[in-house]
Structure 1
């Protein structure tokens, strides 16, 4: 393993000390710096408009002003052209869906997928409040949902971090919680309850539990909000492993021997992942959802810096 674990992390459990430092990282993506999403997003950027604009005031027209912003009523009343001024609309809630279910409790190299998901959730929650937004979350363990209403200032990220630590560490001690998880339907329904029109909704998952039957529910969310998918994957899922030998493996449904010494085994694993990825990308393209892959086999900030 060439990459070192993030500070205070063991890759499996979570602690507050490993998630809090993302508070100091947000300055790298706050205006006028480069947007996090310009680095984070893949090739399927949304064509939806960004934030709206709030009316601020009217002042006398100045050369270079956009003629489309002329206030014709004030212009007619005063006899002199006047322009409307707008400020960028703020306080659009950001709501994170964070998947900590059984399939996310896997990691072949650096971090469990669930731990990496928690790291990026911490970064995004701090970035949201630094941009004067409220932030909330739906944390889904596959058996339990934790709904955290969008909250401003430090309370939002802190309550998300605290629940992530509790939920992840409970998954490590309660093995029954990793058996037969429900689909993502309950999580999407929870997002409907938490998200008024105009939210930024970010799903952080491996999307193993996502299926075509959920597309109508997802579509209703997309019509009201701006959506992003962050697809967490492990290097082994793309056949990237130095292990050579046979191993007894399970996907939660089936159990079998896999011979990782065989190239066709590794290629077969990679093709299965690519098929899953392609289906997700098609969904994102059809619904204009932003999509990005993040590996659990490399520190988060190293991936974002690239």
Structure 2
């Protein structure tokens, strides 16, 4: 897929942020881990234990306190980042929503890869596909090619993808979800992620017609449930549009509260906005990346 060079340059010097549950693990990465040992950056002192390397003894502190004390250093590693992109029928129905969702998933995955993290992308269409775990900025072309080859399908959903073995990521993973989050089973699917030890970053992308159906006109309209293949006949008037907007606001508020209660982050963007604007105003300005 095409990814604006200016956006690549901006994101290449940025890093994804985490709030707590997600943490770096082993591997040749740049992020501080919870482990202590040999390293360059001093972390803390602790009492000497039999078997410790005597070269780690801090002579000055030991002499001052009369107790043998060793120096410990920060061990760096890689943050596991799982990016799950909804490529189901809700995306197929709105091409500009799909383009922004695809670009947003690429931006977040590229940022992680550039920052030395381990990244896997999973796409949810008729078949759930996984890129495998990638590391190193030299794998960016493979990652972007994987995402660019995805097309929205007539089946598939975010809840279905989260039940797939490919999304059973290690504890401490930052799980990035890019979807419209309009499937009725989404709350239940999200509820299982904290128990897996995953920190969630939920990025909702909605088409302007989903945000406000005024563009559909007035009068009797047939609506199709893309996930259930059911048709609903409604009369679109001012009252119906107000009720719809209120219901969508309540749905999003409940999902946002669910995600934030579990220590995650929620953001919602309008698919009419260009990707570069979303990167600057939603990702960077709100501290999702820094």
Match of 1:122 among 106, 126, 138: 106
| Greater strand fraction, Structure 1 or Structure 2 | 2
Normalization by structure 2: what TM-score? 0.73
Does the aligned pair in 2 maintain the 1:125–1:156 contact within 8 Å?
A: no
| 2:164 alignment partner in structure 1 | 189
| 1:236 alignment partner in structure 2 | 209
SS at match of 1:184: helix
Aligned length: 256
Normalization by structure 1: what TM-score? 0.70
Change in 2 beyond 3 A, CA 1:53/1:136: same
Match of 1:144 among 99, 114, 127: 127
For 1:29 and 1:200, the matched residues in 2 are separated by 16
For 1:28 and 1:259, the matched residues in 2 are separated by 50
Q: Equivalent residues in 2 for 1:9-48 (5 A)?
A: 16-18=1-3, 22-27=7-12, 29-30=14-15, 46=19, 48=21
Deviation at 1:46, TM superposition (A): 4.5
Does the aligned pair in 2 maintain the 1:150–1:156 contact within 8 Å?
A: no
The answer to whether 1:303 aligns with 2:278 is: yes
| 1:13-40 CA distance string (max 9 Å, x none) | xxx224676422314635xxxxx65xxx
Which portions of structure 1, spanning 4 or more consecutive aligned residues, are displaced by more than 6 angstroms? none
Range with bigger deviation, 113-122 or 156-165: 156-165
Match of 2:90 among 103, 116, 123: 103
For 2:133 and 2:170, the matched residues in 1 are separated by 10
The answer to whether 1:167 aligns with 2:150 is: yes
| 1:62 alignment partner in structure 2 | none
Deviation at 1:129, TM superposition (A): 1.6
The answer to whether 1:72 aligns with 2:59 is: no
The answer to whether 1:283 aligns with 2:254 is: no
